[in-house]
Structure 1
Amino acid sequence: MATPARLDHSIVITRRPEDAWALFTRLGFTLSPVSRHRVTTTPDGPPVLGCTANRCAYLDGGFVELIGIIDEAAPDPWRVLPLIAGGDGGLRGVSFGLGDSDRVLDRLRDTGLAGSGVLSLERPVGSGVLRARSVHVDRARTPEGIVHSAEHLTPELVRAVPHANGARALTGVLLFADGSEVDSIRDRYATLLDRESRKVDHGRVFDLDGGRLELVVDLDAALPGETPPSSPGFVAQEVGVADVDAARALVEGAGVPTRDVPGGFLVSARETFGAAVLFRSAG
């Protein structure tokens, strides 16, 4: 039986959280209130108040997580700060729903990908406390950023909300890879996701139970006009919206430039603190 695999959320990390949160609000996303992270550093260890807080755009399928550095002197148990060393931040990771965390850990240990035990995360959400478990892929194997599983223990606190831009789902995360690296990266994600990719004009695509991961070799074909990051590097997150034209009118009406891409429009990483957003029809 194939391992369940869905796109859970994209991970944007920034040293300018107030600016980033304001920008994503202008893009038409309804963001959750600011919530400080408490995370464990070892399996069954006590939660530690970390250096980050987030706001999220919760969708019918997956969500966009906007993580802000709010106290660089506070503990950094999940090693977030090295991911934005020398800059303000950007799209730095992806999380996949892979089922039960204990089974995920066993499988990743067997394949040499595990970089942690089963870790716990909690943060306040309204009058409740969101709780989740996660297994991180060995950071030495993911130079593109942070990659981990997500098992939601309080799914009732991860609920979709209406968005002015008509956003319905996180439909894709795009990872740029130099042609010389794409085979090894493809094989790594094939192991993690327990499925094979298919070839497309600009690279390869992993079709998941919800959403997809794209390995982009030809950046001009996938995202015309974008500047390639260091390879490998996450280059964009794709959001499916109810009406592409209406979403574009809202974004441009907020004074944010857009560009045409096949099937939709792009808000460049240059406008989004390094976290490009690709808008296409949710279908």
Structure 2
Amino acid sequence: MGRDIDHLHHVGHVVSDMNEGLELYRRLGFRITPPAYPMLSPREGEPPRPFGAANTHANFRRNFVELVSCVRDGDPERIPSDAKLIPIQAPPEHLPRLTEAIRSTVAKIAACLARFQGLHILVFKTPDADAAAGRLSAEGVRHGGVSAVRRPVDTAQGPRVEALRFVELDSGAPEGVGSGHAPEGRLAIAENPTAELLEARLHMDHPNGAVDLVDAVLCVARAALPDVERRYATYLGRPARADGPARVFDLDGSRVTLVADTDLKAILPGERAPALPAFVAYAVAVRDASAARKILEENGFPLRVSASGDIFVPAAAALGAAIVFREVEGVKAG
């Protein structure tokens, strides 16, 4: 198998209310960028208005955690005061198709929220999207080919545009969910940004000391575990190893953890999956777990300890996603 996947690119936390999500993440000790709200004229000649999906990031050197929410029509009070309103320009003849594409994205996010509020997006990182797409095709994995998007990024030198090349994965998608959705959520592979751009990003000095996204936990029905393990072995180009009751795919300084629903409490005491299959937790590496604990306790979060000794905020206190703070010796911050 090829080894064209080298790290986690990001996880996506889908929330019902962006203001509530921002408050949560700031209390958790993350420095969150102002959320971006696309603005689009619904019809030619009408003024643009917030439309589609809003998002923001907790950035690290190599990756990030994304916070995503739907824009609700006619409810300006729900737009955060520091939101970045980004007009989307399109020729009139392209407007219907663009509007429909955005509505499709919103429908996917709404479908995620209908399942549960929490983690619905996992994106892996590759140095070569074309090579990854070629390998996946050769191994019979359905995907959408290499696509590209451009998004604004705040840097020390001012706003810049980041070109992102990615491959949407689509395996066993439920009817109506669409490309890029396996039963557990949206899966994709994204190409690494340039080292120059990574170094120039702002908002990476998190009060909780987080420096890297290092684990994503997927919970599945016990009977489905062997099939899901084979699927992820194909995605990632490597086999899993046993780690207690879990199966773990080791990447470069990060991992993907698979666990059966009957064993979830053994690794994350007190947790239960809101649906099956589901991403139930992610872990960030921190410089000092005791300092992170102090911030979390001061901000009123209940804390538990995982089977591996890491502190975590339970999903019930974090809008549906258990968040693990893992002190990792020699963690790569760049």
Larger Rg: 2
Please give the TM-score of this superposition, normalised by the length of structure 2.
Answer: 0.75
Q: Who is 1:189 aligned against?
A: 232
Q: Distance in 1 between matches of 2:299 and 2:314?
A: 15
After alignment, is 72-81 or 148-157 more displaced?
72-81
Please give the TM-score of this superposition, normalised by the length of structure 1.
Answer: 0.88
Q: Distance in 1 between matches of 2:72 and 2:196?
A: 29
CA contact (8 A) 2:69 2:109 kept: no
Q: Distance in 1 between matches of 2:165 and 2:104?
A: 15
CA contact (8 A) 2:15 2:113 kept: no
Amino acid at match of 1:128: R
After alignment, is 187-196 or 126-135 more displaced?
126-135
Taking the TM superposition and a 5 Å limit, the aligned residue runs for 1:25-64 are: 25-36=26-37, 51-64=52-65
Q: 1:56-107: per-residue Cα shift (whole Å, max 9, x none)? A: 1112342111112224796245563254242562111211012322222222
- Of Structure 1 and Structure 2, the greater helix share is in 2
- Per the TM alignment, residue 235 of structure 1 is displaced from its structure 2 partner at its CA by 0.6
Q: Distance in 1 between matches of 2:196 and 2:4?
A: 23
Q: Who is 1:148 aligned against?
A: 188
RMSD: 2.3
Amino acid at match of 1:233: A
CA contact (8 A) 1:265 1:278 kept: yes
Q: Distance in 2 between matches of 1:72 and 1:84?
A: 19
- Alignment of 1:205 with 2:248, yes or no, is yes
Q: Who is 1:219 aligned against?
A: 264
Q: Distance in 1 between matches of 2:278 and 2:304?
A: 21
CA contact (8 A) 2:115 2:275 kept: no
User: What runs of 5+ residues in structure 1 fail to find an aligned partner?
Assistant: 39-48
After alignment, is 7-16 or 257-266 more displaced?
257-266
User: Structure 1 residues 83, 189: closer, same or farther in 2, change over 3 A?
Assistant: farther
Partner SS for 2:52: strand
Partner SS for 1:257: coil
- Alignment of 1:281 with 2:327, yes or no, is yes
- Per the TM alignment, residue 37 of structure 1 is displaced from its structure 2 partner at its CA by 6.5
- Per the TM alignment, residue 117 of structure 1 is displaced from its structure 2 partner at its CA by 2.0
Q: Distance in 2 between matches of 1:156 and 1:34?
A: 23
Partner SS for 2:123: strand
Amino acid at match of 1:148: A
Q: Who is 1:44 aligned against?
A: none
- Alignment of 1:119 with 2:147, yes or no, is yes
Q: Who is 1:108 aligned against?
A: 136
Deviation beyond 3 Å, 4+ runs, structure 1: 71-74, 76-80, 152-160
CA contact (8 A) 2:6 2:251 kept: yes
- Per the TM alignment, residue 122 of structure 1 is displaced from its structure 2 partner at its CA by 2.2
Q: Distance in 1 between matches of 2:241 and 2:24?
A: 34
- Percent of residue pairs bearing the same amino acid type: 34
CA contact (8 A) 2:14 2:113 kept: no
User: Structure 1 residues 50, 97: closer, same or farther in 2, change over 3 A?
Assistant: farther
Taking the TM superposition and a 5 Å limit, the aligned residue runs for 1:80-91 are: 80-86=108-114, 89-91=117-119
Partner SS for 1:29: coil
- Alignment of 1:247 with 2:248, yes or no, is no
- Per the TM alignment, residue 114 of structure 1 is displaced from its structure 2 partner at its CA by 2.6
